[in-house]
Amino acid sequence: MLRLSKRMLSVLVNRVSDKVRVTGGTAQDGAGGTKSVGATDGVTQTVTDVVTQTATDVVAEYVKMTGAGRARLVPVSYVDELLATLVSGGATVVEPLSGVPVEVCDIKGRAAAGELLVADVRAIGAEFSPACRLGAELAVAADARVPGYVVVCMRKCCIPWVAEAVEAKACPAEDVTVAATGAEEQASARVSRHAASDAAQVVAAYLACHPRVEAVRYPGLKDGSELCARNVAASGWIWPVRGLHVERIAR
């Protein structure tokens, strides 16, 4: 079975990112799995549009993306202390997509089993994981439009002591000014994440169709070689990795 590390998948994605154009990516769905996300689905914004937003607008955007009930801005200098307080109270900090080999955290299943989860979505992006909707008590996100702060999203009916811990470190969104220089950076970061997701899906689909690969597991990859072949063909990128020695990256 082929097991891809983050580093190896990144290398493969970088090799083909200039050759592939796909309109969809992947994200966790309401069942704790993955869903398609268009590369321009809620991502493409002009700098002018973003600059006219307030910090309150940014916070509201993350409430919607994560499926939270509310969200607060917390200074970056307080984040480690906040997370330490939550962990000491029994919470577990998880990332929706992490590990070697790469795995999707079953947020919905673990929350249903009684775990108090804090989802750190700063690396993957909040648009790829509606963590609070899946059951995480909190989701911690970063946005270049509000530098120096993180957006802490709280689940609807958040546990009182958890909400109090967040409120103790938070500051009013009305007191935070959106950075004009961060608008373009944030938009670029989102487009980049979607492009990387698109390319990774194509690489995974290609490897799944490779005759020397027994199996491939990657978030959002559908079973069935016929479907994989169609996905590869639809991308306009057919068998681009020539001479790839699969056994070198198998574990």
pLDDT in tens, 92-102: 999 988 777 66
| Same domain assignment for residues 153 and 225 | no
| Same domain assignment for residues 97 and 130 | yes
Whether 96 contacts 129, CB under 8 Å = yes
Looking at residue 210, its pLDDT comes to 73
- Mark which of 119, 154, 177 sits at the end of a domain: 177
pLDDT in tens, 165-200: 999 999 999 999 887 765 566 666 666 666 666 677
Cis preceding-peptide flag for 101 (omega within 30 of 0): yes
pLDDT in tens, 103-122: 778 999 999 999 999 999 99
Looking at residue 186, its pLDDT comes to 61
Q: Is the pLDDT of residue 46 over 80?
A: no
Higher model confidence: residue 43 or residue 103? 103
Q: Is the pLDDT of residue 10 over 80?
A: no
pTM metric for this prediction: 0.62
Decide if 1 is inside a domain.
no
Q: Which of 118, 139, 142 is nearest to 70 (CA)?
A: 139
Decide if 46 is inside a domain.
no
Residue with tokens 């089993």: 113
- Mark which of 177, 197, 215 sits at the end of a domain: 177
| Same domain assignment for residues 61 and 173 | yes
pLDDT in tens, 11-38: 455 554 444 443 344 444 544 544 444 4
Please report which residue ranges of the chain form alpha helices under DSSP H. Answer: 6-16, 47-51, 55-66, 76-88, 107-112, 131-134, 160-169, 180-209, 225-234
Looking at residue 43, its pLDDT comes to 43
What is the domain extent for residue 192?
Answer: 6-41+183-248
| Same domain assignment for residues 98 and 59 | yes
Please state the domain count of the chain. Answer: 2
Whether 165 contacts 85, CB under 8 Å = yes
CA distance 78 to 86: 12
